[in-house]
Amino acid sequence: MGQVSVREPVQGDPMLKVFTLSLLGLLLLASPSPAQTVEQRITNKWWTGNRNYPIGSTTSFSFTEVLFDGRYIWVGNFNGKSVSKIDPVYGTVIGTYATPGNVSGIIFDGENIWATNRFSGSITKIRASTGAILGTYAVGSGPQSFAFDGAWLYVTLCDANQVAKVNPSTGVVAAKFSSGGSNPYGITFDGVNLWVSNAGSSGLKKLNTAGTVVATVATPSVTVYSVFDGTYIWVTNQTANSVTKIVAATAAVIGSYPVGTRPGGIDSDGTYVYVANQTSNTVSVLRSSNGSLLKTIPVGAAPLDVASDGISLWTANNMTNAISRR
């Protein structure tokens, strides 16, 4: 460590150089090393903590989906028939808001949180800032998951093998079209097209926003959820214990990469891909550039979904009344 002059240097004083170089040395020592990359933080430092945050009672809550709205964490509670809002800094529950049905999917439209009521054939709109319930709207049989293109909501109707196109201002269904397979679960918008995972049939479907199938991508097994990283679609192959990377523009398959057992929910920050592995109780972290496995992180029991807030990972644990932060 360099020395620090205790007297104030003046212009032309030979000690000015000593003072300046010593101060620069201290600043460099205090600053993160240029070699300390995000990847090194992942492997060496990130998620070393093991924190679980209870929400509700053990018998009434099981969590299905989690998202970050830019300020708060939101989680869908299936058995609890509600959506909870969590402060990501302290892990405290800001509020839990009742819905008419079992929540299987949630999405943020920039202002509101939407929840699917799986067995009630409806979706519920919640004001994100206040938690006020703004309305519940009929959409069709078995609403499961959402996508949002900035103007329209798209809802997979698992029991009807359809996708509903919904006006987010009114909650009115403008159109319904085939999902291209059976039991549609996850749906993702890539900026141009929709990608639908049909859990009851093989292959990932690429649809335009009018509902026309423009491509079918062969996958190692049935798929459940997907994410767009800005260039590629990543989809979880639930029974093959892998994820597949696809060029969104062309539907060309880049490759499939092993993860944990029974992968489901998936998230990406554009640099890394995060996969919730339901039966191995872990999250796999992959490099989006080449699909290589960077780290496997233990989380809570039966994680169905994962979301990154830019600092930590959060998982929706289906077999407990707690969400995990790593």
Q: Residue 23's pLDDT band (boundaries 50, 70, 90)?
A: very low
Query: In angstroms, rounded to a whole number, what is the distance separating the alpha carbons of residues 115 and 93?
Result: 18
In this predicted structure, the answer to whether residue 3 has a pLDDT above a threshold of 80 is: no
Residue 19: φ, ψ to 5°: -60, -45
Sign of CA dihedral 261, 262, 268, 270: positive
Strands (DSSP E) contained in 87-210 are: 93-98, 103-108, 112-117, 122-127, 133-138, 143-148, 153-157, 162-166, 173-178, 184-189, 194-198, 204-207
Residue 270 — pLDDT band, cuts 50, 70, 90?
A: very high
Q: Which residue matches tokens 């509600």?
A: 82
Q: Is 239 in contact with 266 (CB distance < 8 Å)? A: no
Position 30 pLDDT exceeds 80: no
**Mean pLDDT in residue range 301-311:** 94
Quote the mean pLDDT of the chain.
Answer: 87
DSSP three-state, residue 227 = strand
Q: What is the pLDDT of residue 193?
A: 98
- Within 8 A by CB and 6+ apart from 46, the residues are 312, 326
pLDDT band at residue 52, thresholds of 50, 70 and 90?
A: confident
The yes-or-no verdict on residue 7 having pLDDT over 90 is: no
Q: d(Cα 105, Cα 138) in Å, to the nearest integer?
A: 15
Instruction: Label residue 49 by pLDDT band (50, 70, 90).
Output: low
Please tell me the distance from the alpha carbon of residue 209 to that of residue 177, in angstroms, as a whole number: 10
b/e code 66-88 from CB counts within 10 Å (16+ = b): bbbbeebbbbbbbbbbbbbbbeb
pTM of the model: 0.86
Integer Rg of the chain from CA: 23
pLDDT digits (tens, 9 = 90+) for 117-153: 999 999 999 999 999 999 999 999 999 999 999 999 9
Fold of 35-325: Methylamine Dehydrogenase; Chain H (2.130.10)
Give the per-residue pLDDT at 59: 59
Please give the average per-residue pLDDT across 11-33, as a whole number: 40
For residues 313 and 317, what is the distance between their CA atoms, to the nearest angstrom?
A: 13
Q: Give residue limits of the domains in the chain.
A: 35-325
Q: What is the pLDDT of residue 53?
A: 79
With bands split at pLDDT 50, 70 and 90, how would you rate the model's confidence at 14? very low
DSSP string of 252-307, one letter each residue: -EEEEEE-SSSEEEEEE-SSEEEEEETTTTEEEEEETTT--EEEEEE-SSSEEEEE
